[in-house]
Amino acid sequence: MAAIAVHQFAQSITCHAWSPEQSMIALCPNNNEVHIYRLVDDKWERLHVLQKHDQIVSGIDWSARSNRIVTASHDRNSYVWNFEGAEWVPTLVILRLNRAALCVRWSPRENKFAVGSGAKTVCICYYEQENNWWVSKLIRKKHDSSVTGIAWHPNNILLATTSTDGKCRVFSTFIKGVDAKDSRTGPSSDSKFGEQIIQLDLSISWAFGVKWSPSGNTLAYAGHNSMIYFVDDVGPSPSAQNVAFRDLPLRDVIFVSERLVIGVGFDCSPMVFAADDSGFWSFVRFLGERKASSGPKYGSQFSEAFGKLYGQPKHNINNDGVEQSRSRGGGVHENCINCIVSLGQPGISSTKRFSTSGMDGRVVIWDLENQADLSEYL
């Protein structure tokens, strides 16, 4: 089975992140605190409780190089935590939001972080040495609803967002004095801060969980209509395709490799999507199943018609159909999975290990090493 470890930390977990060496985990037990655990003698020991937020912590990210933790909360604030001595010392980041902060991510070079919010804005925060504080610049008037997901491109400049207005957008976050001029390549070469590179209007419902592939050539995100979208050649002439499935919607996705994506959400079991040699994406199976379904590639005529109705080609979409999926037995998670985190090492493009957490209070570690039917995609 792909799940190699299951840990029960709380009644419910909102989000989680791992330390650089993956020996400690920071998680929010669905309240205003962040708990940090370390594995000691096969038992998780709670080392620290970070208490500064007034409302639920909605996002955590732990930087791989600088060992800093950034948190975002419904209280509209963000904190950067530095480990000094034996304690985590917080630094308040004024986001200038009038609605909840919903997600947060460090940039690849860790000189910036982004915060998505319910205020229809994205905050790009960076450290100003002269004044010894974190500064927030806002990308305004681009979204029509809450920003549910953010993802940094490997070039440290482009930022992809998803929103409950159903759209996925890509922005330039170039900041003079923070980013190097030679880092602006491709569609962001001449763009200024906050400039919208592209808007993808592929979903008819809320959009969640956007991610870039390790190379930055492919963008994937999920729709609340039980569809997942893949976009290649992000720029003036993108090539996109969608995969519809007959199960509950996804909340988050990650790229395990250039050709393999894992999606998690309301179905309580991770879903595997893969691209063949021609770049055609399809649903493979749920993790935990012994093998892929032996049934037909597509569903019934009704399901196929349903997929065509909600997946009509537009913006060069070339994959329409409802992928066959079948019922599973009892899964490792017993409630919605709302967070998935890669357990790869910095600088390595692909990884076979990742972790998930959900509303059942569990953190599950998965390993694809012995999944023979997936090895060709890794």
Which pLDDT value is given to residue 149?
98
pLDDT interval class at 349 (50, 70, 90): low
Which pLDDT value is given to residue 299?
38
With 50 as the cut, is the pLDDT of residue 315 above it?
no
Q: Measured on CA atoms in the order 166, 169, 175, 176, is the torsion positive or negative? A: negative
- Report d(CA 41, CA 91) in Å as an integer: 33
- The strand pair at 362-367 and 271-275 is best described as unpaired
With 60 as the cut, is the pLDDT of residue 309 above it?
no
Which pLDDT value is given to residue 300?
38
Place of tokens 């409302």: 55
With 90 as the cut, is the pLDDT of residue 305 above it?
no
- The strand pair at 24-28 and 15-18 is best described as antiparallel
Which pLDDT value is given to residue 289?
54
Place of tokens 């927030």: 136
Domain ranges of the chain: 3-178+191-288+330-367
- Report d(CA 38, CA 43) in Å as an integer: 8
Which pLDDT value is given to residue 284?
96
pLDDT tens readout for residues 68-120: 999 999 999 999 999 999 999 999 999 999 999 999 999 999 999 999 999 99
Mean pLDDT of 246-273: 96
With 50 as the cut, is the pLDDT of residue 327 above it?
no
Residue 65: CB atoms within 10 A of its CB come to: 11
pLDDT tens readout for residues 19-29: 999 999 999 99
Three-state secondary-structure class, residue 306: helix
With 50 as the cut, is the pLDDT of residue 1 above it?
yes
Question: For 5-9, 14-18, 19-23, 288-292, which range has the lowest pLDDT when averaged over its residues?
Answer: 288-292
Spatial strand order of the sheet with 112-117 comes to 101-106, 112-117, 122-128, 133-139
Instruction: State CA 225 to chain mean position distance.
Output: 18
**In the structure encoding, which two tokens stand for residue 190, read together?**
């001449």
Instruction: Determine the CATH number of domain 3-178+191-288+330-367.
Output: 2.130.10.10
- How far is it between the farthest Cα atoms of the chain? 64
Question: For 251-255, 315-319, 350-354, which range has the lowest pLDDT when averaged over its residues?
Answer: 315-319
pLDDT interval class at 314 (50, 70, 90): very low
Dihedral of CA atoms 83, 30, 73, 105 in degrees, nearest 10, equals: 60
With 60 as the cut, is the pLDDT of residue 325 above it?
no
pTM of the prediction? 0.88
Mean pLDDT of 334-346: 91
pLDDT tens readout for residues 122-135: 999 999 988 889 99
Sequence-distant contacts of 124-132: CB under 8 A, at least 24 apart: 124/159, 124/173, 124/175, 124/193, 125/78, 125/93, 125/95, 126/175, 126/178
